Amino acid sequence: MTEIAAVPMEAGRTKYRALARRKLLILAAMTAALCLSFAVDLAWGPARYALSDVAAALFDPASVSPQIRAVVWDIRMPVAIMAIVVGAALSVAGAQMQTILANPLASPFTLGISAAASFGAALAIVTSVPLLPVAAGMLVPANAFIMALVATLFIHFVSQARGVSVQTVVLLGIALVFTFNALLAFLQYLASEQALSAVVFWTMGSLTKATWPKIWMTLAVLLIALPLFARNAWALTAIRLGEDKAASFGVNVRRIRLETMLVISLLAAIPVSFVGTIGFVGLVGPHIARMILGEDQRFFLPGSILSGALLLSLTSIVSKSIIPGVVFPIGIITALVGVPFFFSLILSNRSRSW
Amino acid sequence: MVALQLRSVGAYHGRRLFVEGVTTPTMRSGEVVAVIGPNAAGKSTLFKRITGILKGPGEVVVDGARTKNTITYMPQDTAANAVLTVYESILLARKQGQSWGVSESDLRFIDGIMNALNITPIAFRDLGALSGGQRQLVSIAQALVREPEIMLMDEPTSALDLHRQVEVLAFMRQQARSKGMIVLIAIHDLNQALRFADTVLVIADGRMRACGDPRDVVTVEMLRDVYKVEARIERCSLDHAHVIVDGPTS
């Protein structure tokens, strides 16, 4: 072995710089794809507009007809933005769950948070029992949020107990899924026909519930979470090398896990309570980002945001394109759009998956 | 010049005091200390206590430290399935607690360490594709890029072939001397310990049994008492003490 000082080597840092540049280009391409998808989402619907009309409605509203302006801004814009914001939030929540629990199956859906939210929503729809003192219009999302938060905090506190492995936490999450699904089935069994159809529709997940206050709230949670994750980027990446290794780098693993889990609880609970169960994004969004960009959080974090946002934005387009005039619940379409894409990525890039 | 001394140091593993009463002479810059003892004797626990990962009674006294990364601990080899290249995993060891930006000097330093450990050819391989020996070399690089003044290495050569073992131990001794580091190495191979260490610390059942010059510490009596083996200690052709194990004590 040689002396460290006597090193003329250049290949390593040159190649590293090239790979980092490549990852930035991929992120730029994903951003461009998301912008395009957003524009198409605004253009497509029962009435289809040219992208030029959409651009005009966005940047020079006075130049388009009031009808186009109203459709783009008042009807399609909240849905299109909600798709992006919810996709980003669920994907980031899934990414950080997978990171701190060291488990590729971790996501708001697989850990029972979505199931808990569904139960909360069903409780509101079937029994009208409020878990929070809110206006009648907010009863369903409020109940869904409380139950989602309860599930996340339960997982969080169990994971903090000494001697509990991350595998145990994931198993507990799966147990929560079954528990809340059973409770949901119980409520459905008792529900009136009208309430039952409302519960079923809610659990399918739908962006048509999007409103500006819901968008702002989801965005606010995202804007609180992202700086924290960004600040802990090196530490979160180190946690993926194992608890001992991260601790050996000086990372306070327990503190980072606690902070991250608390933020995830909001990040997962808020969007699910607004749009219902959208299972696939939080699981697959991070895997797509991981396969394309690796797990250096400086790239993985924005990659997860963009992959989740893009996935849900594309799904939003597909959900209203299958049968003209009909908008399918996005929870159904997400899996149908995402699965083939995900399979193709796994099969073409096996060595870079978990 | 950094110095390290343990004063009545103990460590809790859960609620149990797993290591207790470890008091050492002062270890000084350039010194290589082999920490030996049977399996589950408390070597890793002691290292984690010194690093601050585990809590416990007693005092870890560090004098003359110049940097914030004074003590770095290299844990035992564990497979990682993170989707990271070797280069990225070493970079993140260096950048902990720092900004996102990566400077040219960071990368030059990493290149230097990788080159010194002969792992440049695997720099852009995924961590999951490495052999156990390669993982250990990467772990050593991850510890070294933190520029520690005291380095605790938990069985750093257990997965390496004989050639690499000798190379790595000689390299670490040379690093200790040239950088003024104190290097503590938990190791099972007593002959390597006798050859490369300046001091040997024996730990068994969570207690320190001896600490001092290898020739004084590694004795037939100690081997019988701690390892439960009958052994001879002979001089090899290079005049190093050499342990020859005849068998377990009857």
Scanning the structure block, which residue is given the tokens 């909001």? A266
3-state secondary structure of A188: helix
**For residue A218, how far is the Cα from the chain centroid?**
11
Element containing residue B250 per DSSP (H, E): none
> Nearest Cα to A111, choosing from A241, A265, A338?
A265
The residue type of A241 is L
Residue A153 confidence class, pLDDT cut points 50, 70, 90: confident
What's residue A3's pLDDT? 54
Cβ contact B29:B3 at 8 Å: yes
Residue scoring higher pLDDT (A83 or A333): A83
Cβ contact B235:B241 at 8 Å: yes
Interface test with B, best of A2, A3, A4 (most B CBs within 10 A): A4
Which of A30-39, A52-61, A142-151 is most confident? A30-39
* DSSP 8-class letter at A185: H
Q: Structure pTM?
A: 0.89
Bridge partners, residue B6, by sequence: B60
Asked if A1 lies within 8 A of B82 by C-beta distance, the reply is no
Residue A142 confidence class, pLDDT cut points 50, 70, 90: confident
* pLDDT tens digits along A292-306: 999 999 999 999 999
What's residue A306's pLDDT? 98
Backbone angles phi, psi at A247, to 5 degrees: -60, -35
- Domains of chain A: total: 1
DSSP B39-75: TTSSHHHHHHHHHTSS--SSEEEEES--SS--EEEEP
Mean pLDDT of A44-61: 92
What's residue A354's pLDDT? 66
Residue A6 confidence class, pLDDT cut points 50, 70, 90: very low
Does the CB of B221 have a partner CB in chain A at under 8 Å? no
CATH number of the domain bearing residue A331: 1.10.3470.10
Measured from the Cβ of residue B104, the count of other Cβ atoms closer than 10 Å reads 9
Cβ contact B45:B51 at 8 Å: no
Which of A7-21, A83-97, B10-24 is most confident? A83-97
What's residue A83's pLDDT? 96
Proportion of chain A above pLDDT 70, given as a percent: 95
Longest dimension (CA), chain A: 79
Residues 6+ apart with CB under 8 A from B166: B192
- Residues of chain B contacting A249 with CB distance shorter than 8 Å: 92-93, 96, 142, 146
What's residue B117's pLDDT? 94
Superfamily name with CATH number, domain B1-70+148-213: P-loop containing nucleotide triphosphate hydrolases (3.40.50.300)
Does the CB of B180 have a partner CB in chain A at under 8 Å? no
Instruction: Answer whether residue A306 is part of any domain.
Output: yes
* pLDDT tens digits along A211-232: 999 999 999 999 999 999 999 9
- Has residue A77 got a pLDDT over 70? yes
Out of B72, B97, B170, closest to residue A248 by CB: B72
Domain ranges (residues) in chain B: 1-70+148-213, 80-146
Asked if B110 lies within 8 A of A10 by C-beta distance, the reply is no
Asked if A5 lies within 8 A of B112 by C-beta distance, the reply is yes
Residue in chain A nearest B94 by alpha carbon: A249
Residue scoring higher pLDDT (A354 or A254): A254
What's residue A7's pLDDT? 47
Residue A4 confidence class, pLDDT cut points 50, 70, 90: low
Asked if B80 lies within 8 A of A241 by C-beta distance, the reply is yes
Out of A11, A162, A234, closest to residue B95 by CB: A234
Range of the domain at A111: 55-352
Residue scoring higher pLDDT (A275 or A228): A228
Size of interface A-B (CB pairs under 8 A): 137
Instruction: Answer whether residue A48 is part of any domain.
Output: no
Residues of chain B with pLDDT under 50: none
What's residue A2's pLDDT? 56
Out of A7, A234, A290, closest to residue B96 by CB: A234
| Pairing, β B3-7 against β B199-204 | unpaired
Does the CB of B82 have a partner CB in chain A at under 8 Å? yes
| Pairing, β B150-154 against β B71-74 | parallel
Longest dimension (CA), chain B: 61
> Nearest Cα to B51, choosing from B79, B78, B75?
B75
Instruction: Give the start-end residues of each E strand in B71-168.
Output: 71-74, 150-154
Interface test with B, best of A10, A13, A15, A167 (most B CBs within 10 A): A13
What's residue A87's pLDDT? 96
3-state secondary structure of B245: strand
Out of A4, A162, A244, closest to residue B75 by CB: A244
What's residue A5's pLDDT? 47
DSSP B186-239: E-S-HHHHHHH-SEEEEEETTEEEEEE-HHHHS-HHHIIIII-EEEEEEE-TTS
CA distance A143 to B233: 74
Instruction: Answer whether residue A119 is part of any domain.
Output: yes
DSSP A278-299: -HHHHHHHHHHHHHHH-S-HHH
Cβ contact B134:B52 at 8 Å: no
| List of long-range contacts for A98-102, beta carbons under 8 Å, 24+ apart | A98/A286, A98/A354, A99/A236, A99/A239, A99/A240, A99/A260, A99/A295, A99/A297, A100/A166, A100/A236, A100/A239, A100/A256, A100/A257, A100/A260, A100/A261, A101/A159, A101/A166, A101/A169, A101/A170, A102/A166, A102/A239, A102/A240, A102/A242
Cβ contact A118:A203 at 8 Å: yes
Instruction: Give B81→chain A minimum CA distance, Å.
Output: 6
CA distance A346 to A350: 5
CA distance A51 to A43: 6
